[in-house]
Structure 1
Amino acid sequence: MLDISKYKVHDLTHTLGEHIAGYADEPARKLEVDGWNAKTLTIYSHAGTHMDAPLHFGVSDTTVDELHPSKLMAKAWILDVDIHDASQLIDGKDFEGQLEKVQRGDSILVRTHWAENYNQPNFKSELPRLSEAFCRWCVQKKINMLGVEPLSVANVADLKEVTEIHKILLGGGVTIIEGLMGLDQIQSPSVFLIALPLKIQNGDGAPARVVALEEK
């Protein structure tokens, strides 16, 4: 049995609310009228903190509900990248020797502190992106999950780029987590990562609750 008292639990998930693009809600029931409170939710499948399934870019027919929970709980390394340019392209050299500790089958969380810009106009337009070379390295290393703070691993305004990068990762068996926050609170070099998307039938992706367990 896992002794959770031995860990600091970090919630890496943005709260879904009206400030999140692709999310809306409205009252469905009211306590004073119906006897309970309930809402009707409208959620874009890639709103806020979310995960991508291979179906998202058509690399296979695997949907988000088919991602087995055993694949979504794993050791993850926190890798730091210094962001100094708008729309910076992150390559292997930007990790300054950190990649050597990553073992075959591990997961990676890329810490850029980009989540600090979440409410800023440049959060989407100038997001740091992952290079083709780094993504191919992740596939060769059989990286399990790859998490980033921006809402995409690539420039969403460039269809060619966003398609290529997603196809490399998803086609190579790398599960993508986008829109993370709270990585700045983690002090250890690695954590036990739990990333569970909503189990949506035939889903191309889904919002997820993502937590990291850091040994005290």
Structure 2
Amino acid sequence: MTAYDLTHPLHDGVPVYPGTPEPGFTTVRTVPEHGALMTDIHCWSHVGTHVDAPAHMIDGGAGTFDLPLESWMGLAAVLRLPHPGPGAIEPENLTDVMAAGRGVLLATGHAGSWGTEAYYAGAPYLSVAAAEHLRELDVRFIGIDFPSPDPVGATDQQAHQILLGAGIPIIENLTGLDRLPAPEVWFCAAPLLAGAGDGGPCRAFALADQPGPVPARSQQSRTQPRRS
């Protein structure tokens, strides 16, 4: 069994969605001085690798406190969508998605731009038709290795509305999806139960019986698989 960590670490300087404040991680206790190491954390709920619950965009939608734990885990189809840059993912790009009841992980390789201007300025996104297609497939959750299912900076957030409105949670800013073996893995990205329940940071990971493809050098140094 191979375990894959799919999470960007949270630390000072972590990239944030344009227009949102930078988080802060301040050491407030140390072992030599206080006997314990502790960190003061200040951040918005949607930072780094995180989940969107329906309540994030849908008035009265289910929050992280309402959704069962199974909403964030289970078998997930790994769909490889090498994407050359900004532009819409269309329904014809999603033809290999497996049956209803599974999650879907969209592996575009865009996580390799994490920490650069291109990560937000050149991100792919879902077209309205693609979001509707995923909704019709009745998938359990959607995981993406780019910032948002909508174009960065969009004001109407149509893909969010379609997916979250159907009760489909979204996991954003995943990394290392291009290292996962197709066609499917077991995936988990349970969020913290905190705040208003709109979403929150998570530790995303996948398990697979077989190792995936050799990762690009930039990804290999960040998320090495662990074997058990």
* Residues 56-205 of structure 1: pairs in structure 2 closer than 5 A: 56-84=56-84, 86-95=85-94, 97-99=95-97, 102-160=98-156, 163-205=157-199
Cα distance between partner residues in 1 of 2:62 and 2:93: 32
**8 A Cα contact 1:49 1:177, kept in partner:** yes
Please identify runs of 4+ aligned residues in structure 1 that moved more than 4 A. none
- Equivalent in 196, 201, 208 of residue 207 of structure 1: 201
Q: In the alignment, which residue of structure 1 is the partner of 2:37?
A: 37
Cα distance between partner residues in 2 of 1:18 and 1:106: 35
Structure 1: 5+ residue stretches without partners = 1-6
**8 A Cα contact 2:29 2:36, kept in partner:** yes
Size of the aligned set, in residue pairs, is 204
**8 A Cα contact 1:12 1:180, kept in partner:** yes
Cα distance between partner residues in 2 of 1:135 and 1:82: 18
- Residue type of the alignment partner of 2:196: N
Structure 1 length normalisation: TM-score? 0.89
- Residue type of the alignment partner of 1:11: D
Cα distance between partner residues in 2 of 1:133 and 1:61: 22
Cα distance between partner residues in 2 of 1:197 and 1:210: 9
Deviations 1:91-150 (A, max 9, x none): 11124x413xx1011110001000001122110112100011111111111111100011
Deviations 1:54-87 (A, max 9, x none): 1111243421222211222211011111312x32
